[in-house]
C-alpha cells in the first residue's frame, strides 16, 4: 500500500471518527433541544393557565377595588357633606359663643352693679339694724317706764280712791259730830265718842304726813282659801312677817277699788301668805288681784 493510500486511509479514518463524533453530538444536541422545547412548551402552557387564573383574579380584584373605590368615594362625599355641616355648625356655634361672650360681659357688668348696690344695701341694712336695736332698746326703756308709770298711776288712783273713802268717812264723822253737837246744844251733855272710833270699818287709816319714802312691794293674789290668802312676793322681795298688804281691784274706766287688807304670818323666798284682817263687804278677794304693802302707800316716788 502506498503512502498516499495510507494517508488517505488515515485521513478517511480520522474524518470518519470526526463525522461520527459530530453526528453523535448533533443527534444528542437535537434530543436536548426537543426536551427543552417540550419543557418550555409545558412551562408556557402552565404559565398561560396561571396567567388566565391571575387575569381572572385580577379582574375580580379590579372589580372589587372599583366597588370599594365607589364605596369609599360615596363615604368621602358623605364625610365631605358632614364636614360642611360641621363647619356650618362650628360657624354657628362660634357666632353663638361670641353672642354668649357679649352677654357674659354684659352680665358681668350688671353683676358688678348689683354687687355695688348690694354692698350699699348691706351698709344701709347694718345702719338700719343698729337704728332698730337703738329703737328696740329705747322702746324697751319706754315700755319699762310706761309700766312703772301705769303702776304708779294705779297706786295713785288707789290712793285717791282711799282718800275719797277716807274723806267720805270723815264727812260722815263730821256730820255725826255736828248732829251730836246740835243735840248737846239742845239737851244734856252727851258723851262724844273718839273720832278715830267713828271711821268707817274696813277703810285703811290715812298715811301720816312726813313718812319717809319706802320702795313699794307689789305682787298679786295667787291663792285664796277661806280667810287665808297667798301672794306672789316673798322674802326675796323684802316681805317680812307682820307686814300688811292692801288688796285692790282695777276697774276699767274707773278708779281702783279697795278689796281687803292682808296680814302676813308666813314668808317663803318667792311667796308669802297671811290672814285677811279687813275686807270690803261689797267685794271678795280673787286670784290675780294686785297687792301692795301698806307701808309704801304714802310713797310718792
User: Tell me, what CATH number does 235's domain have?
Assistant: 2.40.10.170
Average pLDDT over residues 79-89: 89
CA atoms of 142 and 232, how far apart (whole Å):
25
Alpha-carbon separation of residue 298 from 204, 208, 249 (angstroms): 12, 8, 19
Render pLDDT for 185-195 as a digit per residue (tens, 0 to 9): 775 544 444 43
pLDDT at 199: 39
Nearest CA to 293 out of 236, 237, 254 is that of: 237
Does residue 28 lie in a domain region?
Answer: no
pLDDT at 143 over 50: yes
Judged on CB neighbours under 10 Å (0-12, 13-18, 19+), 269 is: exposed
233 is a domain residue: yes
- Mean of pLDDT over the chain: 80
Q: Higher pLDDT residue, 191 or 104? A: 104
Q: Note the pLDDT of residue 71.
A: 92
Q: Give the domain range for residue 283.
A: 217-301
Task: Identify whether 135 is part of a domain.
Answer: no
Q: 3-class SS at 263?
A: strand
Domain count, the chain: 1
Q: Residue 266's pLDDT is what?
A: 93
- Answer whether residue 227 is part of any domain: yes
Given this model, what pLDDT does residue 300 score? 42
Q: How confident is the model at residue 234 (pLDDT cuts 50, 70, 90)?
A: very high
**Rg over CA atoms, the chain:** 72
pLDDT at 36: 64
Q: What pLDDT sits at residue 56?
A: 85
Please tell me whether the overall predicted TM-score, pTM, comes out greater than 0.85 for this model: no
Question: Nearest Cα to 205, choosing from 238, 170, 239?
Answer: 170
Query: What average pLDDT does the segment 261-278 reach?
Result: 93
Residue 162 confidence (pLDDT): 65
Look at residue 63 in the predicted model and tell me its pLDDT. Answer: 87
Burial call 234-259: b when 16+ CB within 10 Å, e when fewer: beebebeeebebbbbbeeeeeebbbb
Task: Say what the pLDDT of residue 211 is.
Answer: 43
Task: For residue 202, count other CB atoms closer than 10 A to its CB.
Answer: 17
Residue 129 predicted with pLDDT over 70: yes
Residue 283 belongs to some domain of the structure = yes
Q: Where are the beta strands (DSSP E) in the chain?
A: 218-225, 228-231, 244-249, 257-267, 272-279, 290-293
Buried b (16+ CB within 10 A) or exposed e, 157-195: bbbebbeebbeebeeebeeeeeeeeeeeeeeeeeeeeee
Per-residue confidence (pLDDT) for residue 194, from 0 to 100: 43
In this predicted structure, which of 39-43, 79-83, 242-246 has the lowest mean pLDDT? 39-43
Split at pLDDT 50, 70, 90, the class of 201 is very low
* Lowest-confidence segment of 100-109, 183-192, 241-250, 264-273 by average pLDDT: 183-192
Q: What is the pLDDT of residue 157?
A: 67
Asked if the structure places residue 273 within a domain, the reply is yes
pLDDT at 176 over 90: no
CA distance 73 to 123: 71
Q: Tell me, what's the pLDDT at 184?
A: 78
Residue 263 sits at φ, ψ, to 5 deg, of -105, 125
Above 60 in pLDDT, residue 264?
Answer: yes
How many angstroms separate the Cα of 29 from the Cα of each of 40, 101, 123, 237, 295?
16, 97, 125, 158, 171
Taking only the tens place, the pLDDT of each residue in 62-78 is: 888 889 899 998 999 99
Quick check: 133 pLDDT over 50? Answer: yes
279 within a domain of the structure (yes/no): yes
Q: Is residue 253 part of a domain?
A: yes
pLDDT tens track for 11-56: 888 888 888 878 877 777 776 666 767 777 787 788 778 778 878 8
Grid coordinates standing for 65? 377595588
Amino acid at each position: 500500500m502506498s503512502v498516499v493510500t495510507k494517508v488517505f486511509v488515515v485521513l478517511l479514518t480520522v474524518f470518519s471518527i470526526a463525522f461520527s463524533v459530530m453526528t453523535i453530538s448533533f443527534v444528542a444536541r437535537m434530543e436536548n433541544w426537543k426536551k427543552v422545547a417540550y419543557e418550555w412548551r409545558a412551562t408556557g402552557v402552565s404559565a398561560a393557565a396561571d396567567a388566565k387564573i391571575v387575569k381572572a383574579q385580577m379582574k375580580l380584584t379590579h372589580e372589587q377595588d372599583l366597588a370599594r373605590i365607589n364605596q369609599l368615594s360615596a363615604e368621602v362625599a358623605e364625610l365631605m357633606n358632614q364636614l360642611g355641616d360641621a363647619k356650618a355648625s362650628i360657624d354657628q356655634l362660634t357666632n353663638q359663643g361670641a353672642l354668649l361672650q357679649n352677654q357674659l360681659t354684659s352680665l358681668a357688668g350688671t353683676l358688678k352693679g348689683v354687687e355695688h348696690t348690694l354692698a350699699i344695701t348691706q351698709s344701709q341694712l347694718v345702719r338700719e339694724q343698729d337704728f332698730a336695736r337703738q329703737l328696740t332698746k329705747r322702746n324697751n326703756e319706754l315700755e319699762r317706764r310706761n309700766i312703772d308709770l301705769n303702776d304708779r298711776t294705779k297706786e295713785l288712783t288707789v290712793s285717791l280712791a282711799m282718800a275719797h273713802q277716807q274723806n267720805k268717812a270723815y264727812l260722815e264723822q263730821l256730820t255725826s259730830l255736828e248732829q251730836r253737837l246740835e243735840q248737846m246744844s239742845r239737851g244734856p251733855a252727851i258723851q262724844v265718842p273718839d273720832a278715830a272710833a267713828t271711821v268707817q270699818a274696813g277703810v285703811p287709816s290715812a298715811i301720816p304726813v312726813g313718812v319717809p319714802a319706802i320702795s313699794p312691794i307689789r305682787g298679786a293674789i295667787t291663792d285664796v282659801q277661806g280667810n287665808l290668802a297667798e301672794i306672789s312676793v316673798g322674802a326675796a322681795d323684802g316681805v317680812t312677817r307682820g307686814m300688811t298688804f292692801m288688796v285692790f281691784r282695777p276697774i276699767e274706766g274707773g278708779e281702783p277699788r279697795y278689796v281687803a287688807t292682808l296680814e302676813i304670818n308666813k314668808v317663803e323666798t318667792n311667796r308669802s301668805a297671811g290672814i285677811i284682817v279687813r275686807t270690803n263687804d261689797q267685794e271678795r278677794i280673787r286670784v290675780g288681784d294686785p297687792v301692795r304693802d301698806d307701808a309704801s302707800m304714802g310713797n310718792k316716788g
